[in-house]
């Protein structure tokens, strides 16, 4: 049963889930970093749902999406008459999220002025709506996310050092999909099933060859890219057979710089064969009988191929 809608089996993600369990009920600030599409928002929601704040609001704010003066109003709200055009008192997201969790997405894009204001809120657990005279006490769990290296941004002078250390009390680093390849088949199965149901299609599965290409893809857009690919394949699917490597869009075939374009045919085939066999062997813990069965070849053929390709578990 997937926890918080998260599909995984890699030890790297198991470790992340252990961290979530350990930290959910602390009031401490969390900083989630990871490439685009690695699941930062999903993790932030999981922490909230797993905490004693679950019955209160989870408010997500994308710091990069809103111009900074609007952002200040969004966050802090304002009293009536606080500025020209402020005909009404407006409740800010901080006040709205009181008792719950605020998710500050793309925190690296927060402007310096708001960085100072936010630091104060986190440190003093108080804030003033724009134009208010009396500060308001609040109880908020802050979770921030960045898909750039926030430490580097701080070193370059683009992000305040004091705020960085305030946010980075509990760091969670989400590994890119290419560093947890074991999750790829599981995620594909999950999304293909989900979209098959949604679009009312029958898909017989994925051939080993296609799976191998997908496992070796570098997935720069991570899980979102895999999700989008699954949806596209399902939508375009009209046949009653398994999805094969030729059905995949060209961008999956690049073999990701492992084979330079000038390589000759035999070398390319050798590289491909080596990668393919090595992947299946590592999936089966280097059990040749099981691996040969998966590939649909005889065990002796596999042994022969391994000798020919100089393939063993050490390289
Ligand atoms: N382990 C997982 N299992 C199932 N779905 C996942 C998993 N991780 C992420 N997803 C899905 O992948 C998509 C991208 O996740 P999310 O939006 O959390 O990524 P992100 O790191 O916030 O990306 P960005 O940096 O681009 O904002 C979402 O649709 C999310 O539901
Ligand atoms: Mg996100």
Domains, the chain, in order of start with CATH, read 11-175 (3.40.50.300), 179-308 (1.10.8.60)
Residue 106, ligand 1, Cβ within 6 A: no
1-15, 102-116, 145-159, 267-281 — which is least confidently predicted?
267-281
* Ligand 2 centroid – CA 193 distance (Å): 24
Q: Which atom of ligand 1 lies nearest, measured to the CA of 34?
A: 21
Residue predicted with more confidence, 268 or 315: 268
Cβ–ligand 1 distance for 166 under 6 Å, the answer no
Mean of pLDDT over the chain: 90
User: What is the CA(14)–ligand 1 centre distance, in A?
Assistant: 16
Ligand 1 pocket, residue 219 CB under 6 Å: no
**Angle in degrees, 0-180, between the axes of helices 265-283 and 299-308, rounded to the nearest 10:** 130
Over residues 249-308, the pLDDT tens digits come to 876 655 544 444 455 667 777 777 888 888 888 888 899 999 999 888 889 989 989 988
**Whose Cα sits closest to atom 23 in ligand 1?**
37
Contacts of 45 (CB under 8 A, 6+ apart): 4, 58, 103
274 close to ligand 1 (CB < 6 Angstrom): no
Q: List, as ranges, residues with CB under 5 A of the ion ligand 2.
A: 41
Share of the chain above pLDDT 70, in %: 95
pLDDT of residue 240: 84
pLDDT beyond 70 at 169: yes
Give, using CA atoms, the residue closest to atom 10 of ligand 1. 39
Q: Which of 23, 31, 32, 22 is nearest to 167 (CA)?
A: 31
Find the mean pLDDT for residues 93-109: 96
- Rounded average pLDDT over 140-166: 95
Q: Which residue has the higher pLDDT, 67 or 261?
A: 67
Tens of pLDDT, residue by residue over 22-54, are 999 999 999 999 999 999 999 999 999 999 999
**Amino acid 259: pLDDT:** 44
Residues 176-223 have pLDDT tens digits of: 999 999 999 999 999 999 999 999 998 888 999 999 999 999 999 999
In the chain, alpha helices (H)? 11-23, 40-49, 68-76, 93-96, 112-124, 150-155, 161-167, 183-199, 208-216, 222-236, 265-283, 288-295, 299-308
Cα(153) to ligand 2 centroid in Å equals 19
Task: Decide: 242 and 206 in contact? Cβ < 8 Å.
Answer: yes
- Say what the pLDDT of residue 264 is: 64
Average pLDDT over residues 49-72: 91
Cβ(103) to ligand 1 under 6 A?
no
Cα(145) to ligand 1 centroid in Å equals 12
Taking the alpha carbons at both ends of the chain, their separation in whole angstroms is: 36
* Ligand 1 atom closest to Cα of residue 223: 12
Q: Which two tokens stand for residue 107?
A: 């925190």
- The answer to whether the CB of 36 is under 6 A from ligand 1 is yes
């Amino acid at each position: 049963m997937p926890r918080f809608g998260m599909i995984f089996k890699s030890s790297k993600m198991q470790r992340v889930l252990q961290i979530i369990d350990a930290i959910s009920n602390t009031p401490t600030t969390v900083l989630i970093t990871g490439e685009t599409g690695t699941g930062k928002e999903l993790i932030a929601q999981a922490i909230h749902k797993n905490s004693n704040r679950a019955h209160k609001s989870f408010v997500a704010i994308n710091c990069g999406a809103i111009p900074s003066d609007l952002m200040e109003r969004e966050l802090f709200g304002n009293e009536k008459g606080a500025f020209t055009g402020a005909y009404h008192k407006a409740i800010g997201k901080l006040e709205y999220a009181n008792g719950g969790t605020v998710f500050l997405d793309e925190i690296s894009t927060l402007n310096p002025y708001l960085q100072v204001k936010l630091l104060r809120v986190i440190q003093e657990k108080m804030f003033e709506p724009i134009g208010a005279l009396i500060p308001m006490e609040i109880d908020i769990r802050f979770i921030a996310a960045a898909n750039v290296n926030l430490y580097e941004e701080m070193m370059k002078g683009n992000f305040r050092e004091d705020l960085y250390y305030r946010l980075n009390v509990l760091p969670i680093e989400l590994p890119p999909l290419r560093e947890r390849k074991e999750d790829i088949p599981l995620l594909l199965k999950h999304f293909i099933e989900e979209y098959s149901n949604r679009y009312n299609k029958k898909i017989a599965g994925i051939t080993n060859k296609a799976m191998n290409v997908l496992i070796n893809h570098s997935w720069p857009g991570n899980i979102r890219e895999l999700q989008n690919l699954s949806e596209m394949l399902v939508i375009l699917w009209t046949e009653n057979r398994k999805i094969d490597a030729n059905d995949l869009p060209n961008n999956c075939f690049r073999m990701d710089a492992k084979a330079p374009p000038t390589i000759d045919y035999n070398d390319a085939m050798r590289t491909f064969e080596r990668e393919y066999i090595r992947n299946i062997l590592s999936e089966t813990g280097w059990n040749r009988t099981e691996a040969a069965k998966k590939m649909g070849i005889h065990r002796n053929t596999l042994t022969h191929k391994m000798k020919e390709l100089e393939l063993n578990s050490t390289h």
